[in-house]
Amino acid sequence: MRRAVLAAALMMAAALSPTRGEAQSYPQRPVTMVVPYAAGGGTDAVGRAVAESMSETLGQQVIIENSGGGGGMIGAGRVARATPDGYTILLHQPGLAAGVSLYRNNNFDPQRDLVGIGLVNVGPLMIVGRSSLPAGTFKELAAWAKSTNYKLKFGHPGAGSMGHFCGALMGVAGAPVELVPYRGGGPAMADTIAGHIDLTCVGLNFGVEQAKAGTLKGIGITSRETSPAAPTVEALGATYPELDLPYWHALFAPAGTPQPIIDKLNAALRKSFSDPRVLRTFELNGMTVYPESERDPAAATKLLAAEVKRLGDVIRANNIGVTQ
């Protein structure tokens, strides 16, 4: 009886898993890349550029599916529960690692249920403010807010996003803030430009362009060193270590995806790094590709594990919660 049950289980597993031949002929239909934030933000822009380039390499269209909400954990959960056949993949950022500690009722574990395809890019963010703010630096802004008993309205793309961390850690660094959640970085930036809120976090070069145009003020960047793209904007991480927040993107697949499929996706991702359209999108977001030695699938899996610990420590040390 036990042998019969075991045999039946093995047959079912074989039926549900892609065969070696299917892995070799992959992909035979379009691939869905889930972007767990609203259209119009930096993660969406990166995803669309990479997806277009990967489509050309794979010979099948890579379709973007925006699945926002829950600080990016709703879309991530959809991929974690997907069939591990390479046809549903995930583009995410540090919000994936933060969500492990922020959301206690997750119905999946990113480290258990996802596997790396490859690291995409990395760079700092810029904290920007409405053009009518009566201050131009972090220190001046914090002093003004305190003197007027005013809480700065800081828009972010949802709990667990890097924008959420920017805002919450601004408060830790001494600037009174009221965090305002949005369904993506694009809507938050639009409302900051319109003056409906005071501050938000954007990709470095998006912030530089808006600052040059006079539609937003550059308050600081989330790194320890100033950037050549914004040499006059303060590197907040040098004075406020909690605001040293590297921002990355990486591709993931459901755990159990056959290694030959992971390798094909990784090869297509790597090839996209020589595509001028992709590099231009990275540049506009103030981000660069990882070194050649950090472009294999294992590097993405390793970074996720390290970030789960790092951001978990930040969350616990500063009592950051999903309601902030």
Q: Is 57 inside a domain boundary?
A: yes
Four-residue CA torsion sign, 143, 144, 148, 150: negative
Same domain, 118 and 129: no
- CA gap 128, 210 in Å, rounded: 9
Same domain, 94 and 144: no
Q: Is 324 inside a domain boundary?
A: no
Instruction: Give me the domain span that covers residue 115.
Output: 30-122+247-318
Same domain, 83 and 177: no
Read off the CATH number of the domain in which 200 is found.
3.40.190.10
Read off the CATH number of the domain in which 252 is found.
3.40.190.150
Residue ending a domain, among 243, 273, 294, is 243
Question: What is the structure's pLDDT at 79?
Answer: 98
Same domain, 79 and 99: yes
- CA gap 122, 37 in Å, rounded: 18
Q: What are the residue ranges of helices labelled H in 37-137? A: 42-58, 73-80, 95-102, 110-113
C-beta of residue 18 within 8 angstroms of C-beta of residue 24? no
Same domain, 184 and 213: yes
Q: How many domains does the chain have?
A: 2
Q: Is 25 inside a domain boundary?
A: no
Q: Is 90 inside a domain boundary?
A: yes
Residue ending a domain, among 219, 243, 267, is 243
> Structure tokens of 169?
């850690």
Q: Tell me which amino acid residue 63 is.
A: I
C-beta of residue 48 within 8 angstroms of C-beta of residue 272? no
Same domain, 118 and 251: yes
> Structure tokens of 35?
């972007």
Residue ending a domain, among 176, 210, 243, is 243
Q: Rounded to 5 degrees, what angle do the CA atoms 122, 305, 53 make?
A: 40
Tokens 């119009």 sit on residue: 40
> Structure tokens of 240?
């406020």
pTM listed for this prediction: 0.79
Q: Is 277 helix (H, G, I), strand (E, B) or coil?
A: helix
Q: Is 150 inside a domain boundary?
A: yes
Tokens 């995806």 sit on residue: 257
Report the phi/psi class of residue 59: left, alpha or beta, with left for phi > 0 and alpha for psi in -120 to 50. left
Q: Which of 145, 99, 84 minimizes the C-alpha distance to 311?
A: 99
Same domain, 118 and 257: yes
- CA gap 271, 129 in Å, rounded: 37
C-beta of residue 130 within 8 angstroms of C-beta of residue 294? no
Same domain, 151 and 232: yes
Q: Is 11 inside a domain boundary?
A: no
> Structure tokens of 297?
């699938």
pLDDT by 10s per residue, the chain, length 324? 555 544 555 455 555 555 556 677 999 999 999 999 888 878 899 999 999 999 999 999 999 999 988 878 999 999 999 999 999 999 999 989 998 998 878 889 999 999 999 999 999 999 999 999 999 899 999 999 999 999 999 999 777 778 888 998 898 899 999 999 987 788 999 999 999 999 999 888 788 889 999 999 999 999 998 888 888 899 999 999 889 888 899 999 999 999 999 999 999 999 999 999 999 999 877 889 999 999 999 999 999 999 999 889 888 887 777 655
Q: Which of 149, 226, 157 minimizes the C-alpha distance to 192?
A: 157
Q: Which of 151, 295, 308, 174 minimizes the C-alpha distance to 240?
A: 174
Q: Is 6 inside a domain boundary?
A: no
Question: What is the structure's pLDDT at 230?
Answer: 85
Cα separations in angstroms, 218 against 146, 210, 213, 276: 20, 8, 11, 27
Q: Is 4 inside a domain boundary?
A: no
Question: What is the structure's pLDDT at 105?
Answer: 81
